[in-house]
Amino acid sequence: MHTPNVNIFLVLMVPLFHEKNEALKQNPALAPFSVLIGQWTVEATHPYVPDTILHGQHTFTWIAEGAFVMQQQHIDDGRFPDGIAIFGSDDVAKHIT
Protein backbone atom coordinates (compact mmCIF):
# COMPACT_ATOMS: atom_id res chain seq x y z
CA MET A 1 0.00 0.00 0.00
CA HIS A 2 1.36 3.40 -0.98
CA THR A 3 1.18 6.16 1.60
CA PRO A 4 0.88 9.62 0.03
CA ASN A 5 3.65 12.07 0.79
CA VAL A 6 2.07 15.08 2.48
CA ASN A 7 3.89 18.33 3.15
CA ILE A 8 2.47 20.69 5.75
CA PHE A 9 3.78 24.22 5.98
CA LEU A 10 3.24 26.46 8.97
CA VAL A 11 3.74 30.15 8.39
CA LEU A 12 4.22 32.35 11.40
CA MET A 13 3.98 36.04 10.64
CA VAL A 14 5.67 38.24 13.19
CA PRO A 15 5.78 42.02 12.85
CA LEU A 16 9.27 43.37 12.35
CA PHE A 17 8.52 46.58 14.22
CA HIS A 18 6.58 47.20 17.38
CA GLU A 19 5.23 50.47 16.02
CA LYS A 20 1.96 50.36 14.11
CA ASN A 21 2.52 49.51 10.46
CA GLU A 22 1.33 52.40 8.28
CA ALA A 23 -0.08 49.95 5.71
CA LEU A 24 -2.29 48.31 8.35
CA LYS A 25 -4.62 51.14 9.17
CA GLN A 26 -8.27 51.86 8.43
CA ASN A 27 -8.44 52.38 4.69
CA PRO A 28 -10.59 55.47 3.95
CA ALA A 29 -11.15 54.33 0.34
CA LEU A 30 -13.10 51.34 1.71
CA ALA A 31 -15.41 53.43 3.90
CA PRO A 32 -18.41 52.73 1.60
CA PHE A 33 -18.10 49.04 2.54
CA SER A 34 -18.88 49.82 6.19
CA VAL A 35 -22.63 49.46 5.56
CA LEU A 36 -22.02 45.86 4.43
CA ILE A 37 -20.03 44.73 7.47
CA GLY A 38 -21.86 41.82 9.10
CA GLN A 39 -23.62 38.64 8.04
CA TRP A 40 -26.33 38.69 5.40
CA THR A 41 -28.89 36.09 4.38
CA VAL A 42 -29.19 36.04 0.60
CA GLU A 43 -31.48 34.64 -2.07
CA ALA A 44 -30.22 34.38 -5.62
CA THR A 45 -30.87 32.78 -8.98
CA HIS A 46 -28.37 31.29 -11.39
CA PRO A 47 -28.77 30.67 -15.12
CA TYR A 48 -27.53 27.06 -14.79
CA VAL A 49 -30.41 26.16 -12.44
CA PRO A 50 -33.40 28.08 -13.80
CA ASP A 51 -36.55 28.26 -11.70
CA THR A 52 -34.49 27.60 -8.54
CA ILE A 53 -34.06 30.10 -5.74
CA LEU A 54 -30.72 29.60 -4.02
CA HIS A 55 -30.32 30.46 -0.34
CA GLY A 56 -27.10 31.31 1.44
CA GLN A 57 -25.07 33.71 3.52
CA HIS A 58 -22.57 36.45 2.78
CA THR A 59 -20.30 37.80 5.50
CA PHE A 60 -18.27 41.00 5.23
CA THR A 61 -15.51 41.69 7.79
CA TRP A 62 -12.69 44.16 8.20
CA ILE A 63 -9.28 42.47 8.20
CA ALA A 64 -5.75 43.70 8.90
CA GLU A 65 -7.06 46.45 11.18
CA GLY A 66 -9.35 47.81 8.47
CA ALA A 67 -6.82 47.86 5.65
CA PHE A 68 -8.97 45.36 3.70
CA VAL A 69 -12.51 44.00 3.58
CA MET A 70 -13.08 40.25 3.29
CA GLN A 71 -16.26 38.81 1.77
CA GLN A 72 -17.12 35.17 2.39
CA GLN A 73 -20.05 33.50 0.69
CA HIS A 74 -21.84 30.20 1.13
CA ILE A 75 -24.76 28.87 -0.91
CA ASP A 76 -26.85 26.12 0.72
CA ASP A 77 -26.56 23.96 -2.40
CA GLY A 78 -23.66 21.57 -2.85
CA ARG A 79 -23.41 22.33 -6.57
CA PHE A 80 -21.92 25.74 -5.73
CA PRO A 81 -18.56 26.22 -4.00
CA ASP A 82 -18.00 28.61 -1.13
CA GLY A 83 -16.27 31.82 -2.13
CA ILE A 84 -13.98 34.42 -0.67
CA ALA A 85 -12.90 37.85 -1.90
CA ILE A 86 -10.52 40.41 -0.45
CA PHE A 87 -11.12 44.07 -1.29
CA GLY A 88 -8.41 46.68 -1.08
CA SER A 89 -7.54 49.89 -2.86
CA ASP A 90 -4.83 50.97 -5.23
CA ASP A 91 -3.76 54.33 -3.86
CA VAL A 92 -1.86 55.22 -7.04
CA ALA A 93 -4.55 54.29 -9.56
CA LYS A 94 -7.30 55.46 -7.17
CA HIS A 95 -9.59 52.45 -7.54
CA ILE A 96 -10.84 49.50 -5.48
CA THR A 97 -9.28 46.13 -6.32
- What is the identity of the amino acid at 78? G
User: pLDDT tens-digit profile of 48-94?
Assistant: 999 999 999 999 999 998 999 999 999 999 999 999 999 998 777 77
Q: How confident is the model at residue 15 (pLDDT cuts 50, 70, 90)?
A: very low
Sketch the domain layout of the chain as residue ranges.
28-96
Q: Which long-range contacts (CB under 8 A, 24 or more apart) does 85-92 make?
A: 87/30, 87/33, 88/27, 88/30, 89/27, 89/29, 89/30, 91/29
